[in-house]
Chain A
């Protein structure tokens, strides 16, 4: 545990505009990522030259040392990335930053991600290479919606989870996006009828069960409690952070699906969740609002169970009772619209929304919210999560 003076706090957030994939063609992905970092520094009231650490994840091509040179950062003291594909490492990038801050190896660390699917590749399409790809591509298992559909299928086989419960996730998050002018789907409403009429992508997932394919970049700045005290924004404490994986997950569903039988239909977070809450001295009942990585609606239901907001198999009833809605829910989720309806910035946009909730600046603000769970990508390896607190 860090001494209180070095307790990590998020002090700045920055982002590009979010667009549908291909929407950002006049500026490079690297440029909008650099701009997001500069915006985060301005938000914090820090000069960019104060940054001495850079973290990212998911084999981010916006390389840290190249970013250092581009931004004129004089001294880099922490340069690290979480292994693995997918968005599993989004909160892990924050956990790396916290490790540097708490240990004294760096003072001001930026966790960032830039992802323009119009400039790289669309994530709904087959990737040219994948670890263990020989064991899946010749069988037509090409893209994450198909891969994670297999986990959701088994989850729905084991427990009383129905299409109506998946729909509730998609519809709740869209309603939140409709309050958020920055959301890609901000002005597009979604009805239950439209949801049920939408095409299958990979059963049991329909179009609206799948995250958006977008262009965007996002960054958050972490520093010590002591330094945070004098900055521009209300500081937001990182009460706990963790990343890791259970045994035998290898590359999980993004590989050859050889997770252990008994954890196959899970988010690969059961141990991590227990340790995260214990580290902060909190329980799931203490959490006021959460931003749960919503690559696919069914995975959000699994996360409600794995993080202890309800028991195994109870997530369907939990959402059917209105608990994840902004209006009156006891655990409002993904209040910016999430990745189903705001943007898919590999989860860094969810971290930013968690910070907004702790600053009272969300467009779907939860009254008196003082704690927020944010998760990284679910059901991959490694996974990650952070707990944020108003301070």
Chain B
């Protein structure tokens, strides 16, 4: 069962980020890097901020991540999360992927036990209609 109910907002891919979401649908977490200079960037963008090339490659992320920051959310700003309170939104980083930070959820833990620097491992949440979202739990 998905973490959040069906009424939760879903990704709405656009021309610049569609390949990222197509990879998620295949349960692959891949970040964009410049096809010429290799500079990593997230979210996906149509041009490299370093060398201004529009060539891109995609780098598969490791399944291990680390908590860079987080918040424990107690107030339902959207009706879809009313039955999920409190829940943890985390910002995570990956070894070997400098410059990439990903907003995600940290699950399978008592919220008060989440700490910055905590090691995490990736799991894929089936949100239906062939789409999966990357979420994390303690390693």
A-side residues, CB < 8 A to B, are 124-126, 132-143, 145-146, 149-151, 153-154, 157, 199-205, 248, 255-258, 260-261, 264-265
Question: Which residue of B17, B69, B77, B135 is within 8 Å of A124 (Cβ)?
Answer: B77
Q: From B133, which residue of chain A is reached at the shortest CB distance?
A: A138
Q: List 12 A-B contacts (CB under 8 A).
A: A134-B11, A134-B14, A138-B133, A140-B81, A141-B89, A141-B103, A202-B73, A202-B75, A257-B91, A257-B101, A261-B101, A265-B69
Q: Is the CB of B12 within 8 A of A134?
A: yes
Q: Is the CB of B78 within 8 A of A140?
A: yes
Once bound together, how far apart are the Cα atoms of A205 and B12, in whole Å? 30
Interface assignment of B130: CB less than 8 Å from any CB of chain A: no
Q: Which residues on A sit within 8 Å (CB–CB) of B77? A: 124-126, 142-143, 145-146
Interface assignment of B58: CB less than 8 Å from any CB of chain A: no
Q: From B73, which residue of chain A is reached at the shortest CB distance?
A: A202
**If A150-B70, A258-B101 touch, does A140 touch B4 (CB 8 Å cutoff)?**
yes
**If A135-B43, A141-B103 touch, does A153 touch B71 (CB 8 Å cutoff)?**
yes
> Which of under 10, 10 to 19, 20 to 34, or 35 or more describes the interface residues of B?
35 or more
Q: Which residues on B sit within 8 Å (CB–CB) of A132? A: 43
**If A132-B43, A138-B10, A154-B68 touch, does A199 touch B74 (CB 8 Å cutoff)?**
yes
Q: From A200, which residue of chain B is reached at the shortest CB distance?
A: B74
Q: Is the CB of B103 within 8 A of A135?
A: yes
Central interface residue in B49, B72, B75, by most chain A CB within 10 Å: B75
Interface assignment of B28: CB less than 8 Å from any CB of chain A: no
Once bound together, how far apart are the Cα atoms of A248 and B42, in whole Å? 11
Question: Which residue of A153, A157, A202, A256 is within 8 Å of B42 (Cβ)?
Answer: A256
Q: Is the CB of B75 within 8 A of A150?
A: no
